[in-house]
Structures are given as structure tokens and as C-alpha cells.
């Protein structure tokens, strides 16, 4: 598996990939995905996009809706998994129940397997 972003809810490769321009974020993620897909590896790895605050469904939904918006360079076929981080010490709202809801909603909405890839 290759992650084409680690906790990138706040953007990546600033200033080009700042969240003020989701079109650029989509292009960066699409290019990263196709760099992996077009590699000469005998078994192409699965591709994951990883966001922080996996318990926060509204933040997850906003990010993916923006990055996958109509006309976006990023397509749901560009990646295989959605990865999230879960650090419960960040606040009272960071519960297992909130995480379960968010994971379920991510899977149902975007049709991807969802993984908790960072926690404590």
C-alpha cells in the first residue's frame, strides 16, 4: 500500500496545495496516484489517502466532497482506501462512537474500505 497523503486535511505542498484551492489538491493527488499506478512494479500497490481527525465526519465529508467535486482531476478510481487518524486525547468529542459513525459514513458515501492507520 502507498499513501499519497498523510494527514492532509489541511492541504499539502503549500502554497500550491492549500485548502484555498481544492482543484490543485485534486490534481496533486491524481498525479500521485497515477505515479503509483504507472510504476513498473509487478504487483501494483493499493493507494490510500490519509486524513487526520477520522472521528470528525463533517470534516472528512467536506474534504472528500471538495477533492472529488464534479470536474475535479481526482476520481474515486484513483485510490483504493481511505485512511484516518484517531487520537482520543484531543477532546471530549473524540469518541469511539464518533469514530464508528465517521468510518461507517465514509464507507457508505465513498465506497472505499476505511482504515484507522494512526492512533494511540
Would you please indicate which residues are annotated as catalytic (active-site) residues? 7, 118
Strands 113-119 and 81-86: parallel
Q: What are phi and psi of 47, to 5 degrees?
A: -115, 135
Q: In what order do the strands lie in the sheet with 113-119?
A: 2-3, 47-51, 81-86, 113-119
CA-wise closest residue to 29 among 80, 67, 83: 67
Quick one: 62 exposed, middle or buried, by C-beta within 10 A (0-12, 13-18, 19+)? middle
Cell output for 30: 491524481
Amino acid at each position: 500500500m502507498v499513501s499519497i497523503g498523510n494527514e492532509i486535511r489541511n492541504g499539502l505542498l503549500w502554497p500550491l496545495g492549500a485548502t484555498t484551492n481544492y482543484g490543485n489538491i485534486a490534481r496533486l493527488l491524481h498525479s500521485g496516484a497515477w505515479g503509483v499506478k504507472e510504476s513498473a512494479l509487478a504487483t501494483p500497490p493499493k493507494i490510500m489517502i490519509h486524513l487526520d481527525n477520522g472521528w470528525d465526519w463533517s470534516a472528512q465529508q467536506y474534504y472528500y466532497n471538495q477533492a472529488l467535486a464534479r470536474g475535479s482531476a481526482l476520481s474515486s478510481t484513483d485510490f483504493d482506501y481511505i485512511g484516518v487518524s484517531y487520537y482520543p486525547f484531543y477532546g471530549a468529542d473524540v469518541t469511539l462512537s464518533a469514530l464508528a459513525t465517521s468510518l461507517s459514513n465514509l464507507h457508505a458515501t465513498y465506497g472505499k474500505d476505511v482504515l484507522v492507520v494512526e492512533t494511540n
